[in-house]
Amino acid sequence: MLSRIAESLFWIGRYVERADGTARILDVHLERLNGLGEDEQNRVSRNLMALMGSDPGTEAVTLDRLLKCLAYDKASPTSIAGSLSAARENARRARETVSSSLWEGLNTTHNGLKKQRKDLVGTYRFCHWVLERTAMVSGSADSTVSHDDSWLFMVLGRSLERADMTARMLSTRDLLSGSLSWVNMLHCAGAYESFLRNRGGSSGDQDAAEFLLLDRLFPRSIVYALRDAEECLSKLDPSAQRVGFIDDARRVVGQARTFLEFHRTDNLIEELPEHMERVQRAVSQASEAVSRKYFNQASELEWIGEVS
Alpha-carbon span 88 to 307, nearest angstrom? 10
Average confidence (pLDDT) over 10-34: 93
* CB-based contact 203:182 (threshold 8 Å): no
Residue 298's pLDDT band, with cuts at 50, 70 and 90, is very low
- Rounded to the nearest integer, the mean pLDDT of the chain is 89
Query: pTM of the full predicted structure?
Result: 0.91
What is the secondary structure of 225-281 as a DSSP string?
Answer: HHHHHHHHHHHHS----SSS-S-HHHHHHHHHHHHHHH---S-HHHHHHHHHHHHHH
For the stretch 61-81, pLDDT in tens is 999 999 999 999 999 999 999
Give the model's pLDDT for residue 257: 97
Closest by CA position to 252, among listed 216, 289, 223, 215: 289
Residue 67 DSSP SS3: helix
Query: Where is pLDDT greater, at 244 or 86?
Result: 86
Alpha-carbon span 256 to 252, nearest angstrom? 6
Q: Is the pLDDT of residue 44 over 80?
A: yes
Burial of 205 (C-beta count, 10 Å sphere; 0-12/13-18/19+): middle
For the stretch 76-96, pLDDT in tens is 999 999 999 999 999 999 999
Give the model's pLDDT for residue 308: 43
Q: What percent of the chain has pLDDT over 90?
A: 64
Average confidence (pLDDT) over 180-185: 82
Region of poorest pLDDT, from 48-62, 174-188, 197-211 = 174-188
For the stretch 128-139, pLDDT in tens is 999 999 999 999
* CB-based contact 223:232 (threshold 8 Å): no
Alpha-carbon span 225 to 143, nearest angstrom? 20
* CB-based contact 80:22 (threshold 8 Å): yes
Q: Is the pLDDT of residue 124 over 50?
A: yes
Give the model's pLDDT for residue 181: 81
Residue 277's pLDDT band, with cuts at 50, 70 and 90, is very high
